[in-house]
Amino acid sequence: MLARWGEVRSAYGPLEIDTIISVAPAIATVWLRGTISRSWLFVRLVTDSIGDRRVRSIGLGRGSVPAFADGRNIGLIRTPLPAYLDEYMRRLSDAGLFSGVVALAHADSILFQRTYGFADRDRRAPMRMDTPFDIASIGKTFTAVGVAQLAERGALRLADTVGRFLPQLPRAIAGRVTIAHLLEHSSGLGELGAGLDSAMRRSQSVGEMIALAGRGELAFPPGTDVSYSNRGYILLGGVIERASGTRYDEYLRRALFQPAQMTRTGIYPANALPADRAHRYTHFESLRATFAPALVEFAPENDLAPGPHGGAYSTAPDLLRYARALTRGTLVGAEWVDSLVRDPANTGRSRGFEVGAIAGRRYFGHLGGAPGMNSMLRVFPELGYTLVVLSNFDSGANVAGTHISEMIR
């Protein structure tokens, strides 16, 4: 429990009680808020009902925002938004809660872009706006757009079973799971699990990843539930390769990165990362480690190999260009974009994108996270804003990006 609170403190900074929701003899629920980070944290505290009231469990709701948040935030901005954001981000950086870059665009105009901290702390190399970051699961949106492109041209259908393109998979998967299920995280395939870490680190191709990700039983019948699945997106990479006749990374380069003018985005093995990348600093020495107080550099060779599930490197300007190309129909038609970012079941996930709303302000995009890196891409289609936050800390982008999202109007 102490380790868990240490992790919370390292991400959110000092906290204070904002609102007490309810109090019972053994249960209290409250909204906490960071005095520096301005982040919200929902806490449910359970104690013994008799005796010395020892704490038995603490439930944390991270990443959520209370319905009354807008009323709290109205009084915060006493200057234009860019000035407020710079003051806010400087406080985060000075408190050791953020290192990275922030970019906020409205239509074709850059409203705010700043860098904070060091890309390489040992060499004291400062961040630049074009510093490449590991963007982790934001890369799932690349996979989803690639699938939509191939569907648009008739090379596949979302109703196709995955076995049409990957017949080597077990029959229970190949004949029951559709491409739509994979996109929507409703396949039942689930996560990779610790047992595959070593093999996934050594994987050199999408084919090798599929041999690992295509094993096992389905956790539920396809289409009956939603469960985040890196396995599913690895299989989608194989679908892209078979349907296009092109290696996955090459397909992305030709069909996404070049048309969107993303000149500094790519998928690199651990031994060939960009020399000027943001080095990753973490409280978790390995993928499955528990929180430790000391901040250490994460070795890229300890991470999973990059692929259709995530792990590409990109920059804030490239991700702004990507969002612009996507929303303007450069990559895929408007109907397909709408199909990718719709969430009819209200699960918070659509077809490759995370979707949501803050005080009625709808957004779509994706988060990415792994030891020593955290990324956020959010597009607010009705308001015309695009937000990119990239950090080489464990939680920097989630903390900063969520508050910035609250302040956009």
- What are the pLDDT digits (tens) for 322-336? 999 999 999 999 999
Angstrom distance (rounded) from CA 112 to CA 152: 35
Long-range contacts of 245-250 (CB under 8 A, 24+ apart): 247/205, 247/206, 248/206, 248/307, 248/308
Residues 188 and 106 in one domain: no
Residues 125 and 202 in one domain: no
Q: Are residues 179 and 201 in the same domain?
A: yes
Distances in Å between the Cα of 133 and the Cα atoms of 9, 202, 277, 317, 392 are 24, 21, 6, 12, 7
Backbone angles phi, psi at 261, to 5 degrees: 60, 40
pLDDT given for residue 3 in this prediction: 84
The span from the CA of 380 to the CA of 254, in Å, is 27
Same domain assignment for residues 215 and 115 = no
At which residue do the structure tokens 């929507």 appear? 184
Domain span holding position 375: 79-140+262-407
Indicate if 201 and 239 belong to the same structural domain: yes
Query: Do 89 and 32 have their domain in common?
Result: no
Domain count, the chain: 3
Residue after which a domain boundary falls, among 249, 278, 293:
249
pLDDT score at 363: 96
| Ranges of the chain whose pLDDT falls below 70 | 345, 348
Would you say residue 74 lies in a domain?
no
- The residues pairing with 46 across neighbouring beta strands, listed in sequence order, are 27, 57
